[in-house]
Structure 1
Amino acid sequence: MKFPVKILVFALGLCCFSSFAQNSNKNLKHGRITMDPNKSIVQNTEDSGKLNVLLAAINASDMTEVLDKDGPFTVFAPSDLAFDKFTSSEIALLLKPENKNKVRSLLNYHIVAGNITAAKLLQAMSRGNGKTTLTTVQGNKITATMSGIDIVLTDSYGNTARITTADANQCNGVMHVIDSVILPQKYNLL
């Protein structure tokens, strides 16, 4: 009897999340972000107008070529509003050339190898009793769970981020816009 209940819960979750993802793509509380599936992660980040800090980090870390051509990658992309908990001087300091490795580490904490759509996350959560663990390209673990109709990502330090726009397809992967920066250390940008 447990098996049909799991299928029913998964199907309801998928329907709710699919509806949410479609609506959030149009009316994002972090601002309207549109993506062209024929463009790369870097090209869409440039065109978005809402991922400027992320774009500056990609450029400062010399990861432009990788995220423009290689893949597929799943990028959990912090919006510009996600960086609001940091001062502009903290961000400016991070983007200095001498901090290139720190920026790369921060970016790699938001990237998972492969093309992981919201539907794949939901399927994995269904099989994992409500949660699934992803390994970032940096090697750290991020756990995905549901909170209402939102997918929430939690790292090993307890930092969390909600996916606000899911399944922004790119020619070299998929991007999910998130509302917070997930840090490799406990709330220490540098």
Structure 2
Amino acid sequence: MPNLVDTAANAGSFNTLLTAIKTAGLLEILTSPGPYTVLAPTDEAFAKIPVDTLSGWLQDIPKLKKILTFHILFGDVRTDNFAELDSAETFEGGIIGIEKADGGFKINDAKVLQTDILADNGVIHTIDTVLMPTLMTV
């Protein structure tokens, strides 16, 4: 089974996320044994961000790392776990909110589009919005 990075690449809908992960130097983390849970914004989610804002993030590596690590959870957190949780700590150190909504789940303001995409070092959940760490704005 491929790792988180290869699984995301094979999906074909996370090109912007993968570019950001490479730029931020996070490949080593997401290819390590883990396990990790990635809340993966789609290319469409990144398209909601103004182009100049996104390119600014790609120039500001510390800020980019903070944003991206806010999308990573420690451990293998699957849908069954979401049903039992109302929050979780991120790799970045912040807390995300988890709630049941519309027959699925929401993570902060993001709707979970697809759950439990398994990789050999964790799991990916597809989300429709880029999450922002506390006290950060787009």
TM-score by length of 2: 0.93
Partner of 1:152: 106
Q: Which has the higher contact order (CA 8 A, sep 6+)?
A: 2
- Deviation of 1:185 after TM superposition, in Å, equals 4.6
Alignment length, in residue pairs? Answer: 138
In the TM superposition, 1:1-190 aligns within 5 A as 38-96=1-59, 99-122=60-83, 124-125=84-85, 132-154=86-108, 160-185=109-134, 188-189=137-138
Gaps of 5+ in 1: 1-37, 126-131, 155-159
- Deviation of 1:89 after TM superposition, in Å, equals 2.4
**Going by fraction, where is helix more abundant, 1 or 2?**
1
Question: Between the two proteins, what is the percent identity of the paired residues?
Answer: 28
Gaps of 5+ in 2: none
Displaced runs of 4+ in structure 1, greater than 4 A? none
Q: 1:22-69 CA distances to partner (integer Å, 9 max, x unpaired)?
A: xxxxxxxxxxxxxxxx01111122222210110011001101111012
Specify the structure having the higher radius of gyration (Cα).
Answer: 1
Going from structure 1 to structure 2, the CA distance change for 1:58 and 1:171 (only over 3 Å counts) comes to same
TM-score by length of 1: 0.69
- Deviation of 1:187 after TM superposition, in Å, equals 6.5
**Going by fraction, where is strand more abundant, 1 or 2?**
2
Contact kept, 8 Å, 2:110 with 2:128, in 1: the verdict is: yes
Contact kept, 8 Å, 2:94 with 2:134, in 1: the verdict is: no
Distance 2:134 2:77 in 1: 24
